Structure 1
């Protein structure tokens, strides 16, 4: 008898937690709204400070804590949403659109390269503020219902 009640309570709690998260589509829209004009390349220092999958056709890469680029891919990138790690090819410390690629790493992944179609710098400070505003709006909406 305790198991069904516990499972139902866990499902309700998890559903509540999931609603605090910004969806991939909303997050991609935020990144696009705060991205500048396309650039042909960016400097790559040999490691990423972080990365954020934005569905399976785009991602954001953080080269420094306050330096982020939106990478729009030339098609779908298999397993990007579930990857533990990625790597980005580069040419002498620069990543070029239409030449370099993102490679998803991890066990059981095919390592199929995902070509970078477009690179756009993102205003990291404005992006963080917009994400916080979006979360607060979601919380307020949830409290109303």
Structure 2
């Protein structure tokens, strides 16, 4: 019985090892590959449809379900990976590179947080991003099936 439990545990560990989660750097590279040329600003409608942290110096903000921007920050943004919410400053409904900030709320260490300056803004090809994510999921399924044989 003990031997069976050990074999099951080893199989579970092997399954986990064969499907590693993408690192922030790998995810950032995928978004960069599907981003357009930098733009000066984008229209902000007062709320975000979603956001995806990509380490401590970049994130994707979704302004609509099919419209997103890669924001690269001028330096590390403390607790971005642990934030429960973010805010984006804007002026007259426009978020501008080198002028506006990302603000982190919740998660991480309590206390006053310094706003994170947006260095560059790049519009994303959302269809290409979704296709790349689907391709990655399919590759992981094939990899798991191959590991199981």
Larger radius of gyration: 2
Cα distance in 1 between the residues matched to 2:67 and 2:80: 21
Unaligned runs of 5+ in 2: none
Give the conservation status (yes or no) of the 8 Å contact 2:43–2:95. Answer: yes
Give the conservation status (yes or no) of the 8 Å contact 2:34–2:129. Answer: yes
The secondary structure found in structure 1 opposite 2:134 is helix
**What is the TM-score when the length of structure 1 is the normalising length?**
0.85
Corresponding residue number in structure 1 for 2:24:
24
> For the aligned residues, what is the CA RMSD?
2.5
User: How many residue pairs align between the two structures?
Assistant: 139
Return the match for 1:141 from 140, 143, 146: 143
Alignment of 1:42-61 (within 5 A): 42-61=42-61
How far off is 1:93 after superposition? 0.5
* Gap change, CA 1:139 and 1:103, over 3 Å in 2: same
Corresponding residue number in structure 2 for 1:132:
134
Corresponding residue number in structure 1 for 2:83:
83
Are 2:9 and 1:37 equivalent residues in the alignment? no
* Gap change, CA 1:67 and 1:93, over 3 Å in 2: same
The secondary structure found in structure 2 opposite 1:87 is strand
Corresponding residue number in structure 1 for 2:122:
120
* Gap change, CA 1:56 and 1:120, over 3 Å in 2: same
Cα distance in 1 between the residues matched to 2:68 and 2:94: 14
